[in-house]
Structure 1
């Protein structure tokens, strides 16, 4: 089998731990049953020894496969990774979702997306990244009694993502440790208002008004302080036609949304202004993970 799992962008400014969307950038894993375990890695992480020695995808896959079949089997895993590590683009969520879905498929079970999503909570306890990796599109999610409840909106092809990927990573755990333990009522109301309005904009395909909603008063400023260039990234993006510009997940990547007819210009401008950063112009993904039969060569 072959499975493709999309990158995701979470929080989207005010939607802390609840809002996310799926990007057209994919990790691909091919899996074949064989007599001995084999792991190969191409792309992101190919030069990291621990990615092979203690591969999280393989560990989760084996746990789930054993729970479904009661058997320990050996497989060949071939990874082609496109999603950068520790850049706020859902690399860990893609691993969790992909491993669970692949284990169900290889164990001979029907791969039900809601079941995969709920099981993913065992490994990733916030739904903002795992949900769009499962369903695609824009998602607003809550967790009730260990189950994820989601509202999804498909994203029109009239808009694209322009993602700025700095040359420095950000640790999710480290950045989360810097967040305030208490927030004011004013800040809470601001985030509730903006996240609600932002969700309505995506649901109604009203992209013109995203700029009024993409403001956070809980986490973005504290996280962006560790990489001050990100404030300039946001300013340049809005000055050059971005509909929305927010920290992607916990960073360090920055998500910019623009209409298709202006996205390339925005990407070129950002590349010129920030030559040390990687700029990706991406489609949005409305499908989530996708399982295909492994191609024969």
Structure 2
């Protein structure tokens, strides 16, 4: 493909971990950030932000999308002299719905297109860029590829590479994101995790992670067992007690539920997009969201 000067990228939100799959399982959700980028001959970066995070994120070269673009251009080359960018954000920030991964994917894909490359043919490189910025591939892979992803890191003698496999989600799963009214820091919640966990807990969580692949793709009736976790959610409970209580309440009513990513959003895996009426969701906004099946989408010109 030629080298366009304008591109629009739409990137879905994501929910990571899904209970036991810490840093390895992700699900793309139908809530989107839209980023429009124009390459200019005039040096400088101009950024406009609307929607989520508009009052908090920087509007200069330190914006995460711009940083992702430059990380990608270090690989692809052909960085333009200047940029004009407009972000229309619908993914809540610091809520556990992969807003930072979505921004990284949007920037990397935009840079790829503006370098005259086809992002569908460069998915491996794009995953390295975006997962490398995140430190793990679950959210980035889901936003890039769509659907349900299994992600892992292969550590070699001199470097590490990220990998992901995309799978189709069973049509009988209707996610509902219960978005908390407060924010959570991934750095803070990771700091609550122990360096060592008991072997029985590790074995339990490993079995549930394997079961998740079957449950999300073929056997949704197994989701209650498949979303059980003993690896991270219990240790993180002090960071989001209200969210942990909501997970417990939903599960007590027969709804498979887990903390979404680093929280404090809760992901409920319903069959029809509705929740039990007697579950108290005060302090949360319920968003029935379809599974996104396409991942990052590009419109040129």
TM-score by length of 2: 0.89
Greater share of helix residues, 1 or 2?
Answer: 1
In the alignment, structure 1 residue 55 sits paired with structure 2 residue 63: yes
The correspondence of residues 140-155 of structure 1 with structure 2, limited to 5 A, is 140-144=150-154, 145=156, 146-155=160-169
Displaced runs of 4 or more, over 4 A: none
TM-score by length of 1: 0.90
- CA 1:53–1:151 in structure 2 vs 1: closer, same or farther (change >3 Å)? closer
Give the alignment partner of residue 258 of structure 1, picking from 254, 257, 270.
270
Do the aligned residues in 2 keep the contact of 1:44 with 1:82 (CA within 8 Å)?
Answer: yes
CA positional deviation for 1:279: 1.5
The correspondence of residues 102-117 of structure 1 with structure 2, limited to 5 A, is 102-111=110-119, 112-117=122-127
CA positional deviation for 1:53: 6.5
Residues 60-69 or 174-183, more deviating: 60-69
Give the alignment partner of residue 211 of structure 1, picking from 224, 227, 242.
224
Do the aligned residues in 2 keep the contact of 1:26 with 1:82 (CA within 8 Å)?
Answer: yes
Do the aligned residues in 2 keep the contact of 1:62 with 1:72 (CA within 8 Å)?
Answer: no
Separation in structure 1 between the aligned mates of residue 140 and residue 246 of structure 2, nearest angstrom? 26
Match of 2:247 in 1: 234
The correspondence of residues 140-219 of structure 1 with structure 2, limited to 5 A, is 140-144=150-154, 145=156, 146-203=160-217, 205-219=218-232
Secondary structure in 1 aligned to 2:58?
helix
Secondary structure in 2 aligned to 1:17?
strand
The correspondence of residues 66-81 of structure 1 with structure 2, limited to 5 A, is 67-81=75-89
Separation in structure 2 between the aligned mates of residue 151 and residue 193 of structure 1, nearest angstrom? 19
Separation in structure 1 between the aligned mates of residue 212 and residue 18 of structure 2, nearest angstrom? 9
Separation in structure 2 between the aligned mates of residue 228 and residue 210 of structure 1, nearest angstrom? 23
Note the aligned Cα RMSD (angstroms): 1.9
Match of 2:105 in 1: 97
Give the alignment partner of residue 144 of structure 2, picking from 114, 119, 134.
134
Do the aligned residues in 1 keep the contact of 2:137 with 2:162 (CA within 8 Å)?
Answer: yes
Match of 2:3 in 1: none
* Alignment deviations for residues 79-117 of structure 1 (CA, whole Å, 9 cap, x no partner): 000111111111111111111111010111121222211
Give the alignment partner of residue 287 of structure 2, picking from 280, 284, 287.
280
Aligned residues: 287
Residues 46-55 or 162-171, more deviating: 46-55
Separation in structure 1 between the aligned mates of residue 244 and residue 147 of structure 2, nearest angstrom? 27
Secondary structure in 2 aligned to 1:100?
helix
Secondary structure in 2 aligned to 1:196?
helix
- CA 1:49–1:18 in structure 2 vs 1: closer, same or farther (change >3 Å)? closer
CA positional deviation for 1:269: 5.8
